[in-house]
Structure 1
Amino acid sequence: MSKRKKLIVIGNGMAGCRAVEELLERAPDAYNITIFGAEPEVNYNRIMLSPVLAGETTFDEIVINGRDWYADNGIELRAGEEVIAIDPATREIVTATGERAGYDRLLIATGSSPFIIPVPGASLDGVIAFRDIEDVRHMTAAAKKGGRAVVIGGGLLGLEAANGLRTNGMDVTVIHLMDTLMERQLDEAAGFLLRRELESRGIEVFTEASTQEILGEDVVEGVKLKDGRVVPADLVVMAAGIRPNTSLASHAGLECNRGIVVDDLMQTSDPDILAVGECIEHRGQVYGLVAPIWEMCRAVADTLASTDGQGYGGSVISTKLKVTGVNVFSAGDFAQGDNREDIVYRDAARGIYKRVVISGDRIIGAVLYGDTQDGNWYFQLLKDAEDISENRETLIFGPGFAGGANADPNAAVAALADTSEICGCNGICKGEIVGAIREKGLTTLSEVRAHTKASASCGSCTGLVEQLMSLTLGENYNPAAVEPVCSCTELGHDDVRRLIKAKELKSIPEIMQELEWKTPDGCAKCRPALNYYLVCDWPEEYADDYQSRFINERVHANIQKDGTYSIVPRMWGGMTSSAELRAIADVVDKFDIPAVKVTGGQRIDMLGIRKEDLPAVWADLGKAGFVSGHAYAKGLRTVKTCVGMDWCRFGTQDSTGLGVRIEKFMWGSWTPAKVKMAVSGCPRNCAEATCKDVGIVCVDSGFEIHFAGAAGLEIRGTEKLGLVET
C-alpha cells in the first residue's frame, strides 16, 4: 500500500469541503487531509444564510458537515485557525499563530470578501457586510432593537438581506447604483416587477442612487446620497459585490488577475497548488454562484485523485432569487443586440413575465418572473445549444406544449436529460435522483433529501423534485407531509390551530412549551401566526401581543417609499362630517403633513408622516373620535356605499345605513387576507359591489349578496350567493 500524501485545504467553506467530498468518493485513501478555516464553525450552507436571517431556519439546520463527518473520514479540522502565508519553496503554510504545516498538495478555497465601498464612515459601528453566520448574528441582534436598515446594493445578496431584515421588523431601504434591480440577471421588465413586489412588502427602493457618505460619529446614523438625500439608518449592510480573496496566492508568487488564475485541471501556476471556488479566475471569468463551483469541485477532485476527467471548461450560469414568495429565474445573455429575437409572454394580472432570447434558432438567454417552473428546461436547451425551430411557436409556453401537445404537469421534468441539473445548490442531476429512487426504494421527499441532498438546501427545486418523484413512482409516490408553520416546529398550521383549541392553550409561551417548539422565543414567521390564532380562538381571554405583529400593525400606519408613513382614519360607510374634516385639517397643519388624498374606498389618506410623529398624530385623531382604518391590515378595510334611498332617485334601500352598520360590526376583526366590502343602493351599482370580496346590491325585493370579487392585480367579478328579504 502506497504512503498517503499530505493534502492541506485552506478554507472550510462550501467549495473546500465539497471538493474533499468529491475526492473521498474517488480516492478515499490517497491523502491525509487537514482543513484550515478562519471561522470557528464547521462547514455550513452559506446559501441558506438568508432564511436564517429571516427566521425561517436555524444555523444547526444549515450545517452541511458536522464534526462527526470530519472524524469519520479521518480529516483534521483546524477551525478558527487562519492561514496567513504560503511558502511554495518549502511546501508549507503558516498560520496566524506562527505554526507551519507541510503539504504535498495544497488546495486554496479562500472564497471572496464583500466589497466595502470606499466612502467616509464605512468603518463606523453598525456598518456590516452579509457574508457569514457572524454577520447574520449581528444583523439579527440589531433587528431586535428595531429602527431602520439601509442595504447598499440591489443585487441577489442585497435583496436577500433586505427581505430578512424586513421580516425581522426593521424599516428597510435598498440603495442601488443602477436603474434596474439585479441588472446582471434581470432585464428592465422583470426588474420592474421585482421592485414592485418588494415595495409591496414595505421595502423602500432607491435606484440610480450613489452613496456619498455614511453619517455618524461613533455609530452609524444615516446614509447621504450624492443627490443630497439623507436616509436615516441604525444599520447599514454593504452588499455591493464581492472580490476574490487572492492575497495569500499573490504573496506566494502565484499568478493572479481578478482571481487566482487556474487551468482546466484547477491547477495554479504552481502545479502542486490547486484552487477552487469564488477565489479563482478561469479563462478570464470569476464565479460567485454555487452551481459552477460544484463543477469546479468535481474537476479538482479528478486532478487530485489522478482520475480521467474532462476538466473544467467553464459554466453557463442560471440564477434563482430566494426571497420568499418571489420567483425569479434568469440564464444566459438577454441583453439587446443584433441578430437576436425576443419571444415575450406577459400576464400583468397574475404578475407573470417570460422572455426567451433567440439567435440562429438557438436559445441564448431566458428571464422568467412569477412562473419559473420551466426554467430548468430552458436552461438545458440553452446549454445544449439545441435547435428550437420546430417548437418555436409554442416555445414560450414550456415543454408541456412542445409540438402543440396539451399541457402535461410533468412535461418539464420529463423533457430533461439525465445529466440535467435539478438541484443547483448541491449539484444534483436528474439521473442521480431517479437512480436513488429506484435503487433505494425512496417514496417520500424527506427520503430523497436524505439520500441525495436534492431540495435539502434553499428548497427552490422542491417542485421539480416532487414532479420527478411523481414521474418515476407513478401511483407509488407518497406526497410530502403538510408544510410546517416554520422551522421552529414540525407542525402545520391546521395542527397548531387544532391543538390550541383541544389543549386550551392561551398564550404564546404556553403553545411553544406544550407543542415542543424547537426555539424558546419562536421567529418572525410563527409569532404573528400564533398571535392571530390566539386572538381568534380566545378573544375574551387573550391579550393581543403587539410585539408579535408586523411593523405596520404596530404603528397603525403604512410605510411609504421615502421611509415616512401614511394614516387612513376610518370613516364609517364613507360618511364624514364637518367636525371630522376640521380635525383632520388641524392634524395636517400641526404636523406639516405634505399630502392628503381621497382614496377609492371613500376615506382620507394622510401621507408623509414621520415615524416619530405617529403616536401624537393618532392621539389627536383619537380625541376627535377617529379609529384606525386598518389600511395595512389583514382585516376589514372599507365598506363602500352609495347615498341610497335617502338622496338618490333610483335608490331602493338604505345602502348607506346598512354599510355603516356592517362596518361597525366587522371592524377590528382579523381575516386571512384583507377584506373590502360595498353596499349599492340599486342595480346601477354605484358602489361597485360586484368586484368586492363581499358585496350587497339592494333591490326592491331585498338584498342580493355577492362574494369573491377582486379589483387588484386580478380583475374578477363576484359570484351571486342569493337574495334575502332582510
Structure 2
Amino acid sequence: MTPRRVVVVGYGMAGARFADEVRRRDPGGERVALTVVGAEPHPAYNRVLLSAVLAGSIPASLVGLHGPEWAAETGVDLRVGVSVESVDRVGRTVSLSDGSTVEYDSLVLATGSCAWVPPVDGLVAENGSLAPDVATFRDLDDCTAIIDRVRPGAPITVLGGGLLGLEAARGLLGRGCLVTVVHPVGHLMERQLDPAAGGVLAKTLAGLGIDIRLGRSAAQHVSGDGLKLDDGSHVPAELVVVAAGTRAEVGVAESIGLSVRGGIVVDDLLRTSDPRIHAIGDCAAHPGTVAGLVQPAWDQAVVLADLLTGTNPAARYRATPPVTRLKARGIDLAALGETHAEDAEVITLHDPTRDRYAKLVLREDRVAGAIVLGFPDAAAAITEFFDTGAPAPTDRLALLLGRANPGGAQSGTPDRLPDDALVCRCNTVTKARLVQAWRDGATDVPALVAATRATTGCGTCTDTTRAVADWLATTSPEGP
C-alpha cells in the first residue's frame, strides 16, 4: 500500500498536535507519509505557556512540544524556517521558500493567527515595521524581545484588556514593571465576562498594582514618551505591548481562492472549499467554534487524524464548547459556555469585598455556562458538570460555593474521582487514561506527561495529575 502524502502547512500547536495524532494511529508511516512545514525557526512550542515565560516562572526551553529527535524518530519530513510561496491545486504541489517543491494528496492548513495592531498613529514606522518601543505578544520571538527590553521599575503599557493582554500584564508585573492596561471597552475580557465579573477582575488586578484604564483608546504613540489616549490623558511607557486581538492567518488560502470569511471556511470533515485541502486551528472558521482557544484546535487535530489515516471514517468535528482560564498568578478565573445568556436560569453570587464573583447559567437543569472568579473549588465542580452534562443539584448555591459535585463523586481526592472525570481538559485526559498509562509503565509524573500529554496545555491540572500519580504509587487500583 502506497502511503497517502499529507502536507501540513504550519508547525504550531495545531499542526504539531495533528502530526502527533497521525503518528499515534500510524506509527510506522504505512498509511501516511507526513511532511510538516513551519515558518518559524523553532520547533513547535506551547503558546499557552508564553505568559509564564514572560513572568519568568518557567524558562523558554521548557515550552517545546517536541524534542530535537522527534522528526527522525517518527519519520516526519520536518522543514522549519521555511514558508509557502505558492500552491498548485491542479498539480497538487506546494512550492516553498527554500526552492523545494512538495507533492500532496491532502493538504492541511494550520497557519494559525497573527497579532492585530490597531491603527494608532505612531505604533508602526514608515517602513511598515513596529516602532522601536512597540512589541506584539503572540509568539516566542515576541516573548523573548519583550523580556530583553523590560527592566524592574520601567513603565510598560499593555494595549488590550482581553485574555492575552491581562496575561501579559500580570507577567510583566511579576518582573517588577509598572504596568498600565488600556482597554477600549467598559469592562475587561468582555467576550467572556459580564460587566460585574469584569469589575471584580479589574479591582483584583488593581490590588496587585496594575493601573487599569477602561473605556479608553490610544490616540497616538510617541516613541520615548508613551501613549496619548482619546480623552487627552497621557500614559508614560518605555515599551508598549500590543495584545489587542488576533486575525486568522489566511494569506495562503486567499492566494489559491479558498473560501474565507474571517477564517478559512471548513465543514464537519474540516474540508475547505477544495475537498483535498483541510484547515484546523486558529486559521479555520467552523460554525459554533470560538477562535483563539487551544481546545478546538486539538479536537480538530484528533478528528482530522482519524479521517486521513482511515482509522475512523465516521469522525466528524461538531464544535468545541468554550472554556477559558486566565493564566495569571494570584487570580483564579474560569469562564465556560454561555456567559451572557438572558433567557436561561441564571444564579449569581457577587462578593466584591473579597474579590469574588460567580455566575451559573442553566438550561433544562444542565450547566450551560458559568463565570467563576475567586472560587477555585466551585470552578472545578462546575466545569465537571459542564463536561459531563450531569443534572445540576437543586441546591444551586452549594454548587456556586464548590460544595456539590456530579454524583457526589469528586471530592478532590483521586480515589473518589470518577474514571471518566477529565483531569486535563486541554488534552482530554481522563483519570482512566492516567491509570492505564501507569499500568503500561508510566510510573512517575514525567512519564505520565509523556504518555498522555496531561499538564502540557494550560498547566492548571498539574497538581491534580501529581495527586493521581501519588495515589497510584501507593495503591493498586483496578484498571478502567
TM norm. shorter chain > 0.5: yes
Aligned to 1:199, the other structure's residue is in SS state helix
The structure 2 residue matched to 1:140, chosen from 142, 147, 167, is: 147
Q: Hey, what's the Cα distance between the residues in 2 that align with 1:137 and 1:433?
A: 34
Distance 1:408 1:64 in 2: 31
8 A Cα contact 1:394 1:402, kept in partner: no
Within 5 Å, give how 1:273-672 maps onto structure 2.
273-283=277-287, 285-308=289-312, 309-338=314-343, 340-346=344-350, 350-388=354-392, 390=394, 392=396, 394-398=398-402, 400=404, 409-410=411-412, 414=416, 418=420, 420-440=421-441, 442=443, 444-469=444-469
Question: Displacement, 1:325?
Answer: 1.7
Equivalence for 2:10: 11
CA positional deviation for 1:284 = 5.7
Larger radius of gyration: 1
State the shift of 1:286 in Å: 4.4
2:128 is aligned to: none
Which amino acid counterpart does residue 321 of structure 1 have in structure 2? L
Counterpart of 1:316 in structure 2: which amino acid? P
- 1:75 Cα deviation from its structure 2 partner: 1.4
SS at match of 2:173: helix
* 1:164 CA drift (Å): 1.7
For residues 76 and 264 of structure 1, the distance between their equivalents in structure 2, rounded to whole angstroms, comes to: 28
Distance between the aligned counterparts of 2:352 and 2:195, measured in 1?
15
Secondary structure of the 1:388 match is coil
Question: Quick one: higher RCO (CA 8 Å, sep 6+), 1 or 2?
Answer: 2
Q: Displacement, 1:414?
A: 4.2
CA distance in structure 2 between the aligned counterparts of 1:318 and 1:362, rounded to whole angstroms: 16
Q: In structure 2, what is the Cα distance between the partners aligned to 1:105 and 1:206?
A: 48
1:274-330 Cα offsets, whole Å, 9 max, x none, are 111100011264421111211101011011112224311001011111111211111
C-alpha contact (below 8 Å) 2:155/2:238 kept by paired residues: yes
**Corresponding residue number in structure 2 for 1:41:** 42
Question: Distance in 2 between the 1:399 and 1:434 partners?
Answer: 26
The one of 150, 158, 165 equivalent to 1:151 is: 158
Distance of aligned partners of 1:372 and 1:413 in 2 relative to their CA distance in 1, 3 Å threshold: farther
On the 8 A contact 1:81/1:95 being kept in 2, the answer is yes
Shift of 1:119: 1.7
Deviation at 1:473, TM superposition (A): 6.0
CA change 1:434–1:205 in 2 (3 A) is same
Counterparts in 2 of 1:428 and 1:110: CA distance versus 1, 3 Å: same
* Correspondence for 1:213: 220
- In the aligned structure 1, how far is the partner of 2:195 from the partner of 2:474? 41
Which one-letter code corresponds to 1:410 in the other structure?
G
2:273 to 259, 269, 273: 269
Root-mean-square deviation (Å): 2.6
Local SS of the residue matching 2:53: helix
- Counterpart AA for 2:36: I
Query: Match of 2:250, as an amino acid?
Result: T
**Secondary structure of the equivalent of 2:268?**
coil
Deviation at 1:109, TM superposition (A): 0.5
Question: Could you give the per-residue CA deviations for residues 628-684 of structure 1, whole angstroms, max 9, x where no partner exists?
Answer: xxxxxxxxxxxxxxxxxxxxxxxxxxxxxxxxxxxxxxxxxxxxxxxxxxxxxxxxx
Q: Secondary structure at the match of 2:69?
A: helix
* Equivalent pair of 2:107/2:278 in contact (CA under 8 Å): yes
Equivalent residue in structure 2 for 1:233, among 233, 237, 240? 237
How far does residue 199 in structure 1 lie from its aligned partner after superposition? 1.6
Gaps of 5+ in 1: 478-726
Q: Post-superposition shift, 1:345?
A: 3.6
- The normalised TM-score by structure 1 is 0.61
Match of 1:176 in 2: 183
Amino acid at match of 2:74: N
8 Å Cα contact 1:410/1:468 also seen in 2: no
- Between stretches 29-38 and 90-99, larger displacement belongs to 90-99
Tell me the CA shift for residue 120 of structure 1: 1.2
Q: Deviations over 1:210-265 (max 9, x none)?
A: 1222223xxx5311111111212121111111111111111111111111111111
Distance 2:296 2:215 in 1: 30
- Does the CA contact (< 8 Å) of 2:3 and 2:32 recur in 1? yes
Structure 2 match to 1:512: none
Q: How far off is 1:146 after superposition?
A: 5.5
- Quick check: 1:400–1:412 contact (8 Å CA) kept in 2? no
Distance 1:51 1:67, change over 3 A: same
The change in CA–CA distance for 1:355 and 1:108 in structure 2 (over 3 A counts) is: same
2:11–2:43: 8 Å Cα contact kept in structure 1? yes
1:254 corresponds, among 255, 258, 270, to 258
Cα distance, 1:399 vs structure 2: 5.6
- Determine the structure 2 residue equivalent to 1:190: 197
Which residue is 1:702 aligned to?
none
1:174 maps to a residue whose letter is V
